[in-house]
Structure 1
């Protein structure tokens, strides 16, 4: 299967105004952006160095300090003080409040509530019966004293008057609509001649060309800033690499050579001539001190035993106990002399 590559993008022909704006604008923007990009790269490198060397260690130290000073004490306070106190208060509240309240509810309030409910139900039943009669009488009086006269008044008087008023309102609305339409047409023609046509001419012959010019300038400024930022980044990287190489040649390499040729042999010499003999001597001294302490402990233990023997005498020796198993009698056989026939 053949892969069809997309056709190359054709650049639109550019006018002389665009080219005349682009070249000097890019030069000026590059001169202005290079110091800003170099300062930005320096700040980024400094921030990374501080983050890796100072802020991370400071954060770990603050985390450890916060854990040691706040988290662990608060956790211990919660676990060993607040939780037992809360449990004790809960038990005390259960004994002093919940149990008496439950007893009062079950033994006092519930019977009183049932009695009051029964009494209110009886009163409500009586009132409902009386209310039904009163409502029936009031409904009959309201029907024949209010509803029937109001319906006759609506059908015979208000409906014809409302229809006449509606017809008058529709005629007045049509007349006002015609007057408003004429006034609107006249105002539209006047405003179109006085405002719309001049504004359209201003937009077409003044504002649109100026806007296109400003759009071209803004696009070229943004494009120039992008090119300048990228070129400044390359320049900044080149300058940084040159400074890093110079720093390595001036400081790092001499220090490395001094470390390899001077400090490492001196360190090995100090280790072999001083530190190892000192460590061996320290081990010998430590061994002698441990042996001396062991001898002193044995001496003190013997002296304490002698003193106890002088004061209380020798402890009695326990009687020996024969822990051997009991021997069972030998099994009788024909050759044994324990039988009655072979017994002497």
Structure 2
């Protein structure tokens, strides 16, 4: 199954102005960008060389020095000073504060609290009895007296309230309703009609003034601004966009060409450096230093190493013999002064063997026993 690859976009035809701008612009940009690209590539190579040979080892050394100077002392301070000090302070706090506080709470505050609670329960029981036997009867009596007085006052006040309500109705409510229905309502309707007419008149005036201002601003500002944008700013913007696009394309093209030139120059310089320095050094190393090194190794270093090994072996044997001689002399001197050491008696610590098994040719009786 073949995949559908998108077809390349057709290249639009370009005018003579684009070509006239592109060719000299690319020539100028290439001439200006090539030195910049070569300097940039040289800086990149130098930076990579410094990163690999200077900054990374320096950073690792600084990291190790920082660990040795700061991290390890702080870890040791935390592990061997602060943690034991914290444990000691916690133990002192427990011994000096927590345990005494618990003892005080258990043997002082708890009994006092129980005593106060019992006293409060006794006082409450006494007040409950006084309330039930004295205050409740007095309260019921006072309530009954107040209820009788209230009933008398309500009966007297109901008649007074009825008379006052009738006077207020005939003196205030009826005249106010007549004034509202016969005077205020027609006056309000007339004022509302006048306001609606005034609003319509102001709306017509505002519409006319708005239309006049709209056409005035359109003729004096909008149409000249539209003409300026369409016939001046848009062509200038297109020209500037064309120039900017061509400059960007020229810079990209010049940067790529300068990169190729820089790589070619770098290869040439690398080849010259290899021919002038590396190849002679390699030839000297292969044709002169390597045979000389092999001769020095076979004629000098290997015999010297073999002789050093023989001398070392002889010295080790001599030192071993001297140690044995000194050890034997010390043992003889100790034997001469203190005599022979008492040898411990040999004790048979083996388990007793089990009797042999009975066979046809053996007997366990005294008469037949060999």
Residue 89 of structure 2: aligned partner: 89
- Per the alignment, in what secondary structure is the counterpart of residue 342 of structure 2? coil
The correspondence of residues 64-143 of structure 1 with structure 2, limited to 5 A, is 64-104=64-104, 108=109
Q: What CA distance in whole angstroms lies between the structure 2 residues aligned with 1:109 and 1:181?
A: 90
Structure 1 residues 63 and 214: alpha-carbon distance in aligned structure 2, compared to 1, 3 A threshold: same
Q: What CA distance in whole angstroms lies between the structure 2 residues aligned with 1:43 and 1:82?
A: 50
Residue 43 of structure 1: aligned partner: 43
2:320 to 282, 294, 304: 294
- 1:60 to 2:86 alignment: no
Residue 321 of structure 1: aligned partner: 347
**Rg: which structure is higher?**
2
Q: What CA distance in whole angstroms lies between the structure 1 residues aligned with 2:38 and 2:93?
A: 71
Q: What CA distance in whole angstroms lies between the structure 1 residues aligned with 2:111 and 2:199?
A: 72
The correspondence of residues 216-295 of structure 1 with structure 2, limited to 5 A, is 216-295=242-321
Residue 144 of structure 1: aligned partner: none
Residue 21 of structure 2: aligned partner: 21
Q: What CA distance in whole angstroms lies between the structure 2 residues aligned with 1:12 and 1:167?
A: 71
Structure 1 residues 184 and 109: alpha-carbon distance in aligned structure 2, compared to 1, 3 A threshold: farther
Q: What CA distance in whole angstroms lies between the structure 1 residues aligned with 2:199 and 2:335?
A: 136
Residue 212 of structure 1: aligned partner: 238
Which one is further off, 23-32 or 313-322?
A: 313-322
Instruction: Report deviation, 1:17.
Output: 0.8
- Per the alignment, in what secondary structure is the counterpart of residue 202 of structure 1? helix
The correspondence of residues 300-339 of structure 1 with structure 2, limited to 5 A, is 300-326=326-352, 339=366
Instruction: Report deviation, 1:324.
Output: 4.9
Residue 142 of structure 1: aligned partner: none
**1:16-48 Cα shifts (integer Å, max 9, x gaps):** 111110000000000000000111111111111
Structure 1 residues 221 and 337: alpha-carbon distance in aligned structure 2, compared to 1, 3 A threshold: closer
Structure 1 residues 186 and 110: alpha-carbon distance in aligned structure 2, compared to 1, 3 A threshold: farther
Unaligned runs of 5+ in 1: 123-155
**1:133-185 Cα shifts (integer Å, max 9, x gaps):** xxxxxxxxxxxxxxxxxxxxxxx99xx99xx7x979x8688777666555444
TM-score normalised according to structure 2 size = 0.68
**1:182-217 Cα shifts (integer Å, max 9, x gaps):** 544443333223222221121112111111110110
Q: What CA distance in whole angstroms lies between the structure 1 residues aligned with 2:247 and 2:314?
A: 85
Residue 125 of structure 1: aligned partner: none
Q: How many residues are matched?
A: 302
Q: What CA distance in whole angstroms lies between the structure 2 residues aligned with 1:224 and 1:271?
A: 63
Which one is further off, 3-12 or 257-266?
A: 3-12
Which one is further off, 2-11 or 271-280?
A: 2-11
The correspondence of residues 144-159 of structure 1 with structure 2, limited to 5 A, is none
**1:68-109 Cα shifts (integer Å, max 9, x gaps):** 333333333333333233223223323323333444456628
Q: What CA distance in whole angstroms lies between the structure 2 residues aligned with 1:342 and 1:51?
A: 106
Unaligned runs of 5+ in 2: 125-175
Q: What CA distance in whole angstroms lies between the structure 1 residues aligned with 2:199 and 2:92?
A: 82
Q: What CA distance in whole angstroms lies between the structure 2 residues aligned with 1:37 and 1:211?
A: 31
- Per the alignment, in what secondary structure is the counterpart of residue 321 of structure 1? coil
